[in-house]
Amino acid sequence: MAVRCRYATRRRSSSVKMAAPLATCTKEEQHSVIRFLSSGGVKPIEIRRQMKVLYGDACLSLQQVYEWTRKFMNCISSVTDSPRPSQAHPVLTPVQYGDACLSLQQVYKCTRKFMNSISSVTDSPRPSQAHPVVTPVQYGDACLSLQQVYEWTRKFMNCISSVTDSPRPSQTHPVVTPVQYGDACLSLQQVYKCTRKFMNCISSVTDSPRPGQAHSVVTPVQYGDACLSLQQVHKCTRQFMNSMSSVTDSPRPGQAHPVVTPEGIAAVEAIVKENPRVTVNEIAAHLDMGHGSAHRIVRDEK
């Protein structure tokens, strides 16, 4: 009996010592425990239960245990937290740089640049920075406006190496009007239209004929009142422009099929002579023709 009590007391005391939480621990130590247990196939919830017994209130949360388990399953072997931009900022401010330290927004921006493989530590020049440099020194009042500096900056970034302005339709118009052509010069709208045509690789300098012009030409001269209407001329013009060379109308589904033929008339006459009391429906069914065609033949015979 005394031996049994002594064994029970020793067992109780040993269990109490194992359940005592660790006095000090670090996050890296807990991360190492998670890595060890997860590699053995232990589930995160069971890892959290065992760590709670050892670390007490200092134990990582269940969400953190799940997060680190996913990291180690994704072949991440480091047990230290990755540095974040917001962590770098308070370290640099009071110690090395004082009030001249970059703002938190600038730290985030530079971090994104370095993560995108940009190794330069200097700021890229901006159009607004180039403008005050060239204005008062070299060019004075003749300097380009800030809007023009932005526009040319975009052109050079789009691989345009020419430094001359492209000719515009409105620039061409005042040159040709008073000198060569006078009042017969094209209007500004027509100059714009022709400029678009030539830019679209149209080399012809003659106007394309329009359907309305063709209608007024052929109506009174050749065909008189039998001429096609203006709507029909427009329709045929579209067809010829769509590479259709046929000048005949395409057959339509609604057009009647010609079934009143001499052979059909002779067949109807033979049936009527044989049986004068035969009906039109019987004739149409016997000859496989429409009721209207059979009725027309019988009516014409009378």
What is the C-alpha radius of gyration for the chain, rounded to an integer number of angstroms? 48
Q: Is 266 found in the same domain as 232?
A: no
Question: Is 279 in a helix, a strand, or coil?
Answer: coil
In a domain, 229, yes or no: yes
| pLDDT confidence band for 84 (50 / 70 / 90) | low
% of the chain beyond a pLDDT of 90: 4
Q: Is 146 found in the same domain as 184?
A: no
Assign residue 288 a region (left: φ > 0; alpha: ψ between -120 and 50; beta: otherwise).
left
Question: Is 202 in a helix, a strand, or coil?
Answer: coil
Q: Is the pLDDT at 223 greater than 70, yes or no?
A: yes
The pLDDT of residue 13: 45
Give me the number of domains the chain comprises: 6
Average pLDDT over residues 58-82: 87
Phi/psi of residue 79, each to 5°? -105, 5
The pLDDT of residue 92: 52
| Side chain identity at residue 233, one-letter code | V
| pLDDT tens-digit series, residues 252-297 | 655 555 557 888 888 888 888 888 888 888 888 888 888 888 888 8
In a domain, 146, yes or no: yes
Q: Is the pLDDT at 47 greater than 80, yes or no?
A: yes
In a domain, 289, yes or no: yes
Average pLDDT over residues 233-253: 77
In a domain, 162, yes or no: no
The pLDDT of residue 5: 46
Whole-number Å distance between alpha carbons of 297 and 302: 9
Q: Is 15 found in the same domain as 37?
A: yes
Domain of 49 in residue numbering reads as: 2-73
In a domain, 248, yes or no: no
Q: How many CB atoms lie within 10 A of CB 172?
A: 16
Average pLDDT over residues 88-100: 61
DSSP 74: T
Whole-number Å distance between alpha carbons of 18 and 210: 101
- Structural tokens at position 124: 């890229």
| Side chain identity at residue 54, one-letter code | L
| pLDDT confidence band for 218 (50 / 70 / 90) | low
* Burial tier of 4 (Cβ tally within 10 Å: 0-12, 13-18, 19+): exposed
| Weakest-pLDDT range from 2-16, 25-39, 72-86 | 2-16
CA atoms within 13 A on the CB side of 248: 3
Question: Is 25 in a helix, a strand, or coil?
Answer: coil
Q: How many CB atoms lie within 10 A of CB 104?
A: 14
The mean of the pLDDT values for the chain is 75
In a domain, 122, yes or no: no
Question: Is 273 in a helix, a strand, or coil?
Answer: helix
Q: Which residues in 181-197 are b (16+ Cβ under 10 Å) and which e?
A: eeeebeeeeebbebbee
Q: Confirm whether pTM is higher than 0.95.
A: no
In a domain, 29, yes or no: yes
In a domain, 33, yes or no: yes
